[in-house]
Amino acid sequence: MGKVNLAVKVGRLELKNPVLVASGTFGYGEEYAQLVDLNRLGGIVVKGLSLEPKIGNPPPRLVETSCGLINAIGLENIGVERFIKEKLPFLRQFETKIIVNIFGYSFKDYAGLAAKLTAAGVNALEVNISCPNIKEGGKFFGTDPTSAAAVTKAVCEETDLPVFVKLTPQVTDIVEIAQAVIEAGADGVSMINTFPAMAVDIHTRRPKLGNITGGLSGPCLKPIALKMIWEVVRSLHIPVMGIGGIMSAADALEYLIVGAQAVQVGTANFVNPRTALEVIDGIEDYLRLHHFKDIKSIIGSVLIPK
């Protein structure tokens, strides 16, 4: 069988293949460039950026747990101005899409980031709404449809780039949140973000993380993410990037089959930096094995018994 077509279109974002690397697990791309051919990736979602540099949480910041990893990095980053000046020129060398994850603590923060990054010329924005709105007493943007929509609207008013909102799983009805951000102007959603978690050292009886709690990622999240994505795609028929515990091509294929149009490899990058490349190769092998010429033939192809 000849070459298969891996190209996908997620909303307005065109990708040469559906495999990206997730925010917070791949630095700003440069850190992995000696280990991974960045040109082969569908896209790079860079480490989350804020308007001003952020120091992050005290160590320890990472702890392994059963089937996953808990991180409490605290969104440490160099700030948007330094990213544009110091990191973006390096990324522009490569034939891959640059998606910037942004976060803030007010609608003004998000709007400001969107404006600066649009002017800088990245390919898309991913909006992290798992942050507290400090002007509303710390209420999290991502757990309330009205707040989630307001953040999305603030971003979309400042950019003509494709906008994907990264959804938290810590909600009663994720379809409601997804619908709210789409109606506010988002092109699609990335799902799911990490789940709040904790680990304790039984010998010292102290939390293993300096921040006490952190975000759980890794294989343990995959069944939860798959179910949530299936619900969103079935109900809303919107573009979705699937995230959560993708360690192999088989994992990625599950996401595509339930309806995600692209996937992001995250925690696996710490275990094997070349995971995303192996996932791309594995998807291509799967398509050939099952005589599919185009990856779009399997996206959303899940067979649900009547």
How far is the C-alpha of 12 from the C-alpha of 156, rounded, in Å?
Answer: 14
Q: Are 123 and 161 in contact (CB under 8 A)?
A: yes
Active site residue 131: yes
Q: Do the bridges between strand 240-243 and strand 188-191 make them parallel or antiparallel, or are there none, so unpaired?
A: parallel
Catalytic one among 67, 131, 156, 220?
A: 131
Interacting residues of 265 by C-beta distance below 8 A, sequence separation 6+: 19, 20, 21, 22, 25, 246, 252, 275, 276, 279
Q: Cα(262)–Cα(43) distance, rounded to whole angstroms? A: 10
Grouping H, G, I as helix, E, B as strand and the rest as coil, residue 38 is: helix
Angle at 170 between CA 178 and CA 118, to 5 degrees: 50
Catalytic residues: 131
